[in-house]
Structure 1
Amino acid sequence: MTDEASAPGHENPSPVSEVELLHTLVEDGGFWRLAPSWVPRTGYAPPTPAVLRRVAAGLRGGLER
């Protein structure tokens, strides 16, 4: 079994592109299929750049553990 991330032709995306991918997923509504139906779908403020930086840092920190 091979690790896709280390297989030739499968480069790891940069942290910036991972944040962009997450942002695109949320913008397209893809997040909501992961949330229970009782979670409100409206009324949230768009994330600020500072919030996105904290999320990205937290995700990177979780990968390093």
Structure 2
Amino acid sequence: MSTTPRAHAPATARETERYHLDQLISAAEAEHGPITDEEIRALRERLHEAREKQAPGGVSTDRRPRATSSS
């Protein structure tokens, strides 16, 4: 069974997207400094809250586990 180029298209697109995202992160960190774990946690929480507000009927479409606070 041979694999068609079309079957690889989504994987190639994801790889390209990750490459571009890495480039954006590197540029932002060069300009503003590295992002702390606390900043990442706070931004993930904001994203989760925004998704909850946008979901119909208040049901979250985000199936990833929520980060827990260690405080």
TM-score (norm 1): 0.39
Greater helix fraction, Structure 1 or Structure 2: 2
Q: State which structure, 1 or 2, has the greater radius of gyration over its C-alpha atoms.
A: 2
TM-score (norm 2): 0.36
User: Highest relative contact order (Cα 8 Å, sep 6+), 1 or 2?
Assistant: 1
